[in-house]
Structure 1
Amino acid sequence: MASSYLTSPTSESSQPPVSPTALGRGLAALRIFMGVVLFANGIAKLTGVRNIELGWYRGFLIVRNEARNILSFEVNERGGTGTRVPFLKEIVNDIILANWDTFQWLVTFTELGIGALLILGLVTRGAALVGLLFQLFLALVYMSSNRWMFEQPHEYVPLIILALVPSGYYWGLDGPLLRNRPSLRRWPF
């Protein structure tokens, strides 16, 4: 016997293909995971600790000076000439790298702030949009090396979903905040 989620749209069953509760919890798990990823990257930049060892898992995160070096290499040296994206080389060299003492902290606190908001489930779609813009800038940097569609999709694809679909109602502060304030039940919550 087929379960209710396999029924055709023309059947008399009025049940949705996926439980709204299950979908909400799944989005909350995705939101929290992305928050942890961004927050961990911010912590690495804040403390300078790049290596992670959790039991069998070993990995590394990018610290501030490495972020600067990666940005400089991708824009100026990759492929012998650097980026061919119009105006990107000028923006990166004349604004970002020239003022790296400020931008390194802007990057650090952006990752920490977006990560914390996503973990807490507060202003989730707004936080996800800022995170998405942050990640799409990196995709633009990588675009000149023909890697952009394959570089970091695990970071920007979930952020697209989280920017479009409310995910702070389950296991987040958006739910309790908006429960008594119907006027706020719109984007960026």
Structure 2
Amino acid sequence: MSPRADAARNRSSLLSAAVEVFAEQGVDAPVAEIAHRAGLGKGTVFRHFPTKDDLIAAIVLDRVTRLTELASELAGAADAGAALLEFMRYAARQRQQLDLSFLSADLGVEVGEAQLRMSLAITALVDRARAQGALRPDVTGTDVMLLMCVPNDVVKHVPDARPDLWERYLAILFDGLRPEGARPLPPF
């Protein structure tokens, strides 16, 4: 295996291990645990990610990139409403796996630019769904970006919630985005 392929594999292993460890122990989990879970040494972690913030930024960048790619792919679907629901379901599953919404730190220019690209891709998906009549006319891409977090956030307040309970709230939320029975929204 080439050194580049080896480095890419190590990076991927580290990101996967970090997601698992952070989901179990929180972002204060020791880097040594992440290295151990990835089957690598601590030095390898720090070669790829000099600080824990760099590691967290890489996880966020990876997630935002995946969401952007999916939104772009689904924007061409024949049924844009079903495509938007599929996108929101994927986003909720990702967030259920590891919720990093509490992060308030600046994650860098690269993450900021990726978030902008994601916003544009989601807006295109929403615009198509709205044009097909699957969404109420006053719903925006920004609305959907903010609402993507709701299903998981609601479930946090339910003691001993089933792992798939978020799907119930996604269904309720998505029904609220549909044009049937919609009343005008307050200004944005």
Bucket of the pairwise TM-score, normalised by the shorter protein? under 0.3
| Bigger strand share | 1
TM-score of the superposed pair, with normalisation by structure 2? 0.27
TM-score of the superposed pair, with normalisation by structure 1? 0.27
Greater RCO, CA 8 A, separation 6+: 1
